[in-house]
Amino acid sequence: MGNDISNLLSKFGATVDGYLEIEAAIDYKEPARKVKAPLVVAKAEPALAPVPNESTAADPAPVVAASAVVPMLAGSPVSPSQRIEPVIEPVVEPAVAAANVSVPVPAPAAVAPVPPAAKLTPSPSSRIAVAPAQASPAIPAIPADAADTAVATDRPVPSLLRSMLGEAARARQAQQGASNDGPGDQQDAQPPSTPAQVIAVVSPKGGVGKTTLCSALACSLARHGRVFAIDLDPQNALQYHLGVDTQAAAAMTPAGAAASWRDGVAQGMAGTQVVSHALVADNGEVALAQQMAHDGQWLLRQLQAMQLQSGDVVLLDLPAGQTPYLDQALQAADQVLAVVTPDAGSFLALEHMRQVLHGRNNCRYVVNKYDGTRSFNQDMLEVLKRWMGPRLAGVIALDHAISEGLAYGYNPLVKGGDSPAYEQLQRVSEALRAALAKAHAAGGRA
């Protein structure tokens, strides 16, 4: 004993001279240990048939014979929040195994088959010890969330993303290929236009003599070149003011005349060429309104199809007020002529169209049916002059012969000497021609 201690101390550079052995007087006691319940070894039974539609990856716990598991689950039923993990412990000692010690076990209750949809959600706070009947390597447990993800997702996310990106790229390439099919597509991309000068005759309210002035201006401007008067007003009265033979016009209009307005042009007085509203709305007002709502440049396309020349003038007779025709005409017009009368109704209606008309540089006004013998008309004319400023193109005096001439098929404003308003109309016509010439020289609208 002394030699062993001396050899041990010499390894650490010490000697036995300083070594003092003290007898241990401490009584060590082993803590009381609970007697472990004898582990029951179940007899080998045929393996249970696998449950249909179940994946081994989703339920990794090994299957145990019911006779060995039921006694352990009787005292503490497994809740859905518990987690089941196999715990491999040593099998009973060989002597006990050889003696085949058996412990009385109550008869197992009938275990109902587990339906395919029923699954236990493992809980990290509980374990159940299982003694395997045969020695097998431990199977690692798979987290429940990973198993559910694998079942719910048909394809991995990268594959799904690549597939969706491929579809988007093919759609984009097909769209680009359709836009570059031919030179016609590049032409369609250009906004429609016409080389002719377009004048839109509008009014904030009805009954102001708009169509009468439009027909008179068409005859006055026809002395300087070709003039096309197009009736966009559903009343379809422009052809009567211009003396069009409606029966002859209907006979020369081709079937399905919507193909081109040029094919349905009728001859009017003073050499004017008239497109009636019946030709404009050959498919009906409802269909035309839908077409204008769908195509904001419908009118420009129609004018472009007429193949007009740079010296031509187009007058558009529009319905009163703010209508879809007004939106179409304001896009196509080089000049806008608004006709009003010196009364409160016209002024109040004009206020509603202030933002549409007054903010345009190419808009001018004409005061029609002015009666200088009435003091109220005089005061209203002063109000309108202040409101319009330099945009006032002219004042047309009231002449009852103008409205009466329609009954006899003539227009007193076409020929001088028939009406005192003839000279006033000519000044308005010259003001429009000057504005159109100025706009043409500048290469744009006035």
Hey, what's the torsion of the CAs at 178, 184, 190, 192, to 10 degrees?
-130
Do 295 and 328 meet the contact criterion of CB atoms below 8 Å apart? no
pLDDT band, residue 281 (cuts 50/70/90): very high
SS3 117: coil
What is the chain's percent helix, strand, coil content, to nearest 5? 45, 10, 50
Q: In what order do the strands lie in the sheet with 197-202?
A: 266-267, 273-275, 227-231, 313-317, 197-202, 335-340, 363-370, 392-397
Determine what percent of the chain is predicted with pLDDT higher than 70.
Answer: 61
State residue 181's pLDDT score. Answer: 56
Neighbours of 118 (CB within 10 A): 9
How would residue 167 be classed by pLDDT, with cut points 50, 70 and 90? Answer: confident
| Spatial separation of the C-alpha atoms in residues 291 and 300, rounded to whole Å | 13
Cα separation of 45 and 72, whole Å?
19
CA distances from 284 to 10, 304, 319 (A): 122, 22, 16
Check pLDDT > 50 for residue 126. no
Of the pLDDT bands very low, low, confident and very high (cuts 50, 70, 90), residue 69 is very low
Give start and end residues of each alpha helix (H) in 308-343.
324-332
* Rounded Cα gap, residues 308 and 113, in angstroms: 89
**For position 159, what pLDDT does the model report?**
79
Q: Where on the phi/psi map is residue 100: left (φ > 0), alpha (ψ -120 to 50), or beta? A: left
pLDDT at res. 353:
87
Give pLDDT tens digits for 134-154. 444 444 554 544 444 444 445
Rounded CA separation 112/108 (Å) = 12
CA distance 386 to 17: 131
Read off the pLDDT band of 313 (50, 70, 90). Answer: very high
